Amino acid sequence: MRYPKECVLKECQEAIIRPLEAGDITLLEKFYSLISEDDRWFMRYDVGSPEVLQKWFENIDLAYVKSIVGVCEDKIVGHGSLHLRGYGATQHVGRFRIIVLPEYRQKRLGTWLLLDLIQLAMDEGLEALRTDLVVGVDNAAIEAVTKFDFFKEAVLRDYAKDRNGKFHDIAILIKRLHRQWSDF
């Protein structure tokens, strides 16, 4: 993948997509400070914590996490990460997360980040991508990934709890990958 890459959002706004870099910690802290606690609650790590972000940056060169960011007017406005296992029976399956600043949502940035994560996964030789999404909470993401041929493989009933203790189903969505887009 050639970075930095320019992309055009809705209303002709321009954004740059590039890998997360070692010097981005302050920009990423600012980004996550603007993400609501409700959105952060459903992430795997407490990204509101400086220690968690510090740890991410210590591991930034590790081969098993590929992070990309969308940048607009010198601000990080979107973050996508692809997670590889690197060992064992499910090493051919990648997982990912994408999060976009609320005021940049529904402008196609999430789609641009998703396309790049799919391409990165194909470049890594992965055979499938998996994402676990919370039904009734991550509906925008479920809608977005379904457009890219992710299908619902399973549902874990009442598996996650929101901040008020209410249970939600988790949908496990899978996309099979091919070496090239032209193999589809």
Q: 3-state secondary structure string, 143-177? A: HHHHCCCCEEEEEEEEEEECCCCCEEEEEEEEEEC
**Residue 170: beta bridge partners?**
134, 156
Closest CB to ligand COA among 38 and 58?
Answer: 38
The least distance separating ligand COA from the CB of residue 180, rounded to whole angstroms, comes to 23
The least distance separating ligand COA from the CB of residue 152, rounded to whole angstroms, comes to 14
Angle between helices 139-146 and 109-123 (to 10 degrees): 60
Q: Which of 67, 151, 141 is nearest to 106 (CA)?
A: 141
The least distance separating ligand COA from the CB of residue 38, rounded to whole angstroms, comes to 9
The least distance separating ligand COA from the CB of residue 10, rounded to whole angstroms, comes to 7
Closest CB to ligand COA among 33 and 139?
Answer: 139
The least distance separating ligand COA from the CB of residue 157, rounded to whole angstroms, comes to 20
The least distance separating ligand COA from the CB of residue 142, rounded to whole angstroms, comes to 8
Closest CB to ligand COA among 24 and 78?
Answer: 78
Residues that bind ligand COA (CB under 6 A): 39, 97-100, 105-111, 131, 138-141, 143-144, 147
Closest CB to ligand COA among 53 and 133?
Answer: 133
Contact 160, 181 (CB under 8 A): no
> By beta-carbon distance, which residue lies closest to ligand COA?
110
Distance in angstroms (rounded) separating the CA atoms of residues 61 and 46:
21
Closest CB to ligand COA among 13 and 91?
Answer: 13
Distance in angstroms (rounded) separating the CA atoms of residues 35 and 30:
9
Q: What is the dihedral of CA 52, 112, 105, 100, to 10 degrees?
A: 0
How many angstroms separate the Cα of 146 from the Cα of each of 19, 94, 140, 158? 25, 17, 10, 22
Closest CB to ligand COA among 87 and 130?
Answer: 130
